[in-house]
Structure 1
Amino acid sequence: MNLEHLKALVAVIDEGTFEAAADLLRITPSAVSQRIKALEASVGQVLVRRRLPCTATDAGALLLRMARQVQVLEAETSAALGSGSAARAHLPVAVNADSLATWFVPVLQQAAGWEDSALDLHVEDQGYSSQLLREGEVMGAVTSDPVPVSGCRVELLGSMRYVPVATPALHRRLSASGGVDWAAMPVLKFNTKDNLQQQLLTGKPLRQPPPTHTVPSSQGFLAAVKAGLGWGMIPELQLTDELESGALVRLEDGAHQDVALYWQAWTLDSDRLNRMTAAVRAAAKERLLPGDAPEANGPSRAGYRRQK
C-alpha cells in the first residue's frame, strides 16, 4: 500500500470531494483519482463512495484508520529525525458537549502548549463516537461505552453527576403540598437522544406528558433553565453559584443521575496520543467523581447526552 495513495484516501474523505483533496495535496484531481483507483486495485475492493460528500465504504474505513495511524507515526518519526519538527500533526478527538464545557477544559489548556500538535475536536454522541473510532475519524473519544472498539483500549475516567433544577419561581408556581406537578412543569431536553429527564420522570404520577422544549447547546441549556423556560438535569460541574445564590433550586433533595464516562483510544504507540491520554486522565481525576459511582435514579449509561 503506497503511502501517497493512503494520503489521498484521507484527503478525499476529510475534504469530501476529489477536487478539494487535490487542492489540499497540491496535485490535480486526476492524480487524486488515479491514486484512489490504484489503492482500490491493490486491495481488490471499492474504498470510496463517489458522492457528495465522498464517504468511505466498510473496507475504506479500515484503510482510513490505518492511514491516519501511519500519518501520526510518520510525523513523529520525522520529528525524531529532525526533519519534521515544524509540522503539526492533527489529533482528532470526540467528546460530548457537557464534558467539553466543564471538566475537559484543562485538556485544552495543556494542548495550547503542544507546538507539534493541532487538536481537532468532534462533538458527538456516545453511539457515533464509537463509530468515529471504528472508521478512523478520531484517535480517541470520551464515551459512556465500556466495551472497547476493535483496535482500541478503554479506561474508566469517572462519573459525571447531573441534578434536576429549576428557577424558584417556576418551582413555586407548579408545586403544591403534594410536591412538584411533573405533568404541568415544562421540561427541557438537549436533543432526541437526551433521556436524562425522562429517567427522572419514570415512575412519577403523570396525567399527561409535560410540555417539552429542546435546547441543543450545553451553555444554552443552562441559560434556558435559568430563564425559567423549564427544568432540566444540569451537570453539577456546570453549576457555579446558582444553587448557593438561590438562582436555581433542586426539585428533589438528593435526586441525581451519575453518568460513567470512559476514554477509548487507539492501541497505537504514539507520543502525541499518549500525551493526550495522560491529559484526559489527569483532568478527569481532578473533576469527575471517582469510579463508576452508584446513582439514585436508574442506569447511568443510558443517560449519556449533550452531544451536538
Structure 2
Amino acid sequence: MERKHSLISQCVRTKTINNVMKKSPLSLENIVAKTNVKLGGLNYNIILENYPIDPNVLFIGLGMNHPAGGMADPDGPRVTSVSVLGFSANDGILPNEFIGNFFFQPMSRDENVGVLDTLLVEVLERFKLNRKCAPSRVIFYRSGCSEGAYGSVLRYEIPIIDAVVKKYAPSAPITVIIPSKMHSFRFFKKNINASDRSDDQNIRPGSVIDGVVVNNSYAEFFLNSHLAIQGTAKTPKYTIIYSTEKDASLDMFERWTNALCYDFQIVTSPTSLPAPVYIANRYAERGRQIYNTFPNSAKINKTTGRNKK
C-alpha cells in the first residue's frame, strides 16, 4: 500500500488489538507513537545540559543487509544476490527528525557502498532545502563494516564523503564512526548479586569504556546505552576511523552517541545503537523483505545501485 500508492498505513495484528481492548496502555501507546511518526510528527525531544547538540549538526546513519543465500534471477537462469543499503539522517525541518530510505546494489566481496555519492547528495540537498543552511558539522555512523574492511573504507569511501560534503558544506568538519557488535568483549559489574534480576546484574545504560581494551590505532570507545533484560549485555564498540574535527573531544562523541540512543521515537527506552544507525538498519531490513517478496519490482541500476520503480 505504502510503496505502490504512497498511502500511509499502520498494520495492527489481531493479538495486538486484543491487548488494547484489555486496556493495555503500553500497546496503545506504541501504536499511537508509530502512527504519529509515520504522519511526520515527533513524540519527544532530546536536551543535553552538558555538550548540547548544535541543531545544525547533520547525523547520517548507514546499515547494510546482505543476503543469506542466492536468489533466482527472473531474467535468466543464473543466481544473483543483492545487498540492501538502508540509511537515515536528521535532514528534516526539525533537528531530531530522521528521514530515511533504502537502496539496492549488487553484492560484492568487499563491503564498500556503491551508492554513497548518490545517498550523500540526496541527504545534503534535503538538509539545505529544509534548514535553509549548510550543516555545521557532519557525523557519519557507518554500520555493517568489519574491522578488516577499515582500510577499504578509508581508501574508497572517505574520499567520496569528503568531496560531496565539501561541495555542500565547505567548512563543516567530518567524522566517520564505525559502530559494531562484531566483537567478543563482554563487560560486567565488579560486584554482582546473583539473586538480582538480569537487568540489575548488567552494567547500567550510559556506561562507557574508552581505555585499556580499546584499539590504540584509532579513537575508540564501548558504549552500553541499552538495558539488557535477559542474558549478558552485548556492548557496541564505536571506532572513529576518520575525523577533521579540531576542537571536539572524545567525551563529546560519547555523550552525543548516547543521547541519540534515546531518539528512536517509537519507544521511550534507549536502543542499543544510536537512532540514525538503528533506523537505517530497519530500512535495510524493510528493503530486504520487499526484495524477497517482490524481486521484479526492484530492478538494480548496475551503475548507481539505486532501486528503480
In the superposition, the TM-score normalised over structure 1's length comes to: 0.24
In the superposition, the TM-score normalised over structure 2's length comes to: 0.24
- Which structure has the bigger radius of gyration? 1
